[in-house]
Amino acid sequence: MRRTKLVCTQSIGGAGSRLGAFLNHREWPMNLKRSYLFWILPIVAAALLLPCLGAAQEAREGINSGNYNVKQAFEFGYRFTDFTGSQAVFGSFVNFNDGPRLLEHTLEMRSLNHQGWLFDNFYLTSMGYGGDPNNFSRLRMYKNKWYNFNANFRLDRNRWDYNLLANPLNPTTSSPFVPVTDSPHRFDTVRRMGDYNLTLFPQSRVRLRMGYARSIHEGPSVYTVRAGTEAVAFQGWKTTLNSYTMGLDFKFIPKTNVSYDQFLHYYKGDTTWAITDFPYQLSNGTPVNLGLPFNTVAGQPCARPLTSTTTTPPTADATCNSFILYNMSGNVRTTYPTEQLSFQSNYFKNLDLAGRFAYSSSDHAIPSFRENFDGRYVRLNGRANCRGAH
Q: What is the DSSP letter of 94?
A: T
Q: Quote the DSSP letter at residue 247.
A: E
What is the average per-residue pLDDT within 59-67?
77
% of the chain with per-residue pLDDT over 70? 82
User: What pTM does this model have?
Assistant: 0.75
* Whether the predicted pLDDT of 122 surpasses 90: yes
| Distance from C-alpha of 150 to C-alpha of 350, rounded to nearest angstrom | 33
CA–CA separation, 261 and 359 (whole Å): 11
SS (H, E, C) 287-356: EEECCCCCEHHHCECCCCCEEECCCCCCEECCCCCEEEEEEEEECEEEECCEEEEEEEECCCCCCCEEEE
What's the rounded Cα separation, in Å, for the pair 176 and 313? Answer: 14
pLDDT in tens, 91-111: 888 888 788 888 889 999 998
Q: How far apart are CA 65 and CA 71, in angstroms?
A: 11
Phi-psi region for residue 285, left (φ > 0), alpha (ψ -120 to 50) or beta?
left
Give the least confident one: 77-86, 161-170, 281-290: 77-86
Compute how many other C-beta atoms are within 10 angstroms of the C-beta atom of residue 313: 13
Q: Does 258 score more than 70 pLDDT?
A: yes
Segment 207-232 shows an average pLDDT of 94
Q: What Å distances lie between residue 351 and 298, 316, 365, CA to CA?
A: 72, 79, 47
Separation between Cα atoms, residue 361 and residue 339, nearest integer Å: 9
Q: Most distant CA pair in the chain: distance in Å?
A: 90
Distance CA 155, CA 137 (A): 9
Q: What is the pLDDT of residue 290?
A: 95
What is the mean pLDDT of the segment spanning 142-150?
A: 93
- Position with higher pLDDT, 291 vs 10: 291
- Strands 353-360 and 369-377, bridge-based pairing: unpaired
Predicted confidence at residue 207, as pLDDT, reads 94
Name the band, by pLDDT with cuts 50, 70 and 90, for residue 380.
low
DSSP category for residue 82: -
Instruction: Please return the burial class of 161, using the count of CB atoms within 10 Å of its CB with bins 0-12, 13-18 and 19+.
Output: buried
CB-count exposure of residue 48 (10 Å: 0-12, 13-18, 19+): middle
